Copies of this chain bind each other. A is one copy, B any other.
């Protein structure tokens, strides 16, 4: 499951299900000298769709890295009408963090970053508040305070997109960022913006879910990490988890217990994204 060691390539594939897909993909790798490290596939029998994640060692692979995509498409992908992504473990993904005032997810991600837990670069933090600036800067991360109002939202998003492009960002993590992104902004990073919502969606979407959970008297609370789509809190779910609560827990206790849950659930989702394990189909994820 880890990517220490020799460089490898990862293909994420989906296509209409029919005979011969597995053999064609594995043959492409085998015939060209690749050693398969991981292979996972899944068929959705209702939709008739085939999904696959395959990782192979590049050490003796005959096709040069910059030609693999072209060759795969020509020899295999086109024949099966595949949608595919190709990743290389040697390429370190570049993440931008968006944060507001609640620091727990932000601190948690930076601690993982500082200790080298993930293979990732974090060159950019954007916030609508100035509070987290010193924390970002002590790790040498570029910090931008871009307060957002109804009036300046379009302008600030333009600035954000500029910064993201300037830092060559691959994907964005919203670490309890308390602003709703516009559809236009989201369209620039499809399936590349990861949010953490503090409820077990689809229960309690929107604002103040812990207050709603307390009012409803639930016995478990949850957190949900998902890709951001145009519809609020309705994107494809990557990871969820829950923790038990009781009548003894006031709203502030739900918030306290929820903090730990949110940071762990978000970190797991980012981990799956980083290891190129997530495929989105419709509004669901396959997490290989």
Q: A220 CA to B225 CA in the complex, in Å?
A: 12
The smallest C-beta distance from A128 to any residue of chain B, in angstroms, reads 18
The total of chain A residues at the interface (CB under 8 A) is 68
CA–CA, A236 to B247, complex, Å? 12
Residue interface mask A30-61, B partner, CB < 8 A = 1: 10000111111111011000010000000000
Partner of A46, one of B42, B117, B239, B250: B250
CB distance from A69 to the nearest CB of B (A): 21
A200–B220 CB distance below 8 A? yes
Chain B: minimal CB distance from A147 (Å): 21
How many copies of the shown chain assemble into the complex?
A: 4
The answer to whether A216 and B200 touch (CB under 8 A), given A41-B39, A253-B1, A260-B264, is no
Closest Cβ of chain B to A241, distance in Å, is 7
Interface residues of A in 4-26 (CB under 8 A from B): 4, 19-20, 22-23, 26
Bound Cα distance from A73 to B43, whole angstroms: 27
In the complex, the answer to whether B103 meets A111 with C-beta atoms within 8 Å is yes
Known: A111-B111, A264-B260. A23 touches B19 (CB 8 A): no
